Structure 1
């Protein structure tokens, strides 16, 4: 701290002390000091918050729940918590094997199913992972990797596309790190989509 900064701090402390001492009752002086401390803590909780929990919100964004610390560094559980959200950005899963020896490749299965929409591609990808490649759990990154492998046009909001596939009743999309097939989704693939390639040949 420079001499100028020290002098400014000393002057500010003297003004604060004179203001507090102007009140005759000690109980009032204590309350004023406590109020000043609380004001200081509120100004410094952004960087000094205790992280309580990492999670994912309804849109699939990463969230960090924090709570302010007290003057001793302990979480003040009675105080209002803060949440920060980070937009989910899909990433390639480079460890995936999309051409297993004991099952049709993802591309071969997609050609059989003839998906027409992004939601159908999403369903087909999850079905292939679970039912054909026997990979479970399925993540949003895995579906993104499947889209890239299949040369599918990518949606502007990938998580929202997965959520819309879930709203059709085809998958359970509540957790982007654990996407599940529903009975309706399985039936749609097996009773509808896998017959499309045969229909094209018949025509």
Structure 2
């Protein structure tokens, strides 16, 4: 098994999503001792945001500056990582109702026409079928269907749409929400998330 582990929190050791994604990977490795893990921390080492120069150069080969050439090389590496993976584990905190800009920059490097999806006469078709994605979500408040704040939830819905669009049908979410409400609520949410992780890796 090849595991691609992505973290996107900017909070370092204080991050709940990092804790959860690490626990998920540890469970997977315990269940599959020969698993190989590729780790990319886009929170600590952000990818460049996609630029017009890079997009143009990727679509039409041409002479480019050293900076654009380096950017294209980084993008190719990021793409190769997800193409090689069997399981993608993502730590994704909620920032201002959605995912971090750092994680969005990663998505922009993996959603590539002709590589991870293609356009057909019947509409777009994902090319990453057969892979599994497990996403560790953290939220300071509550944004579920019964919270009264569900209309503001653009975190899980965004990631589910991205992975489904790319052809990954097997997508699981581990959620710890309300972690900024109180220490008691955080402990309860983490315990519930731990139970979900154990069940996923069983």
So what's the TM-score if we normalise by structure 2?
0.20
More helix by share: 1
Query: RCO higher in 1 or 2 (8 Å CA, sep ≥ 6)?
Result: 2
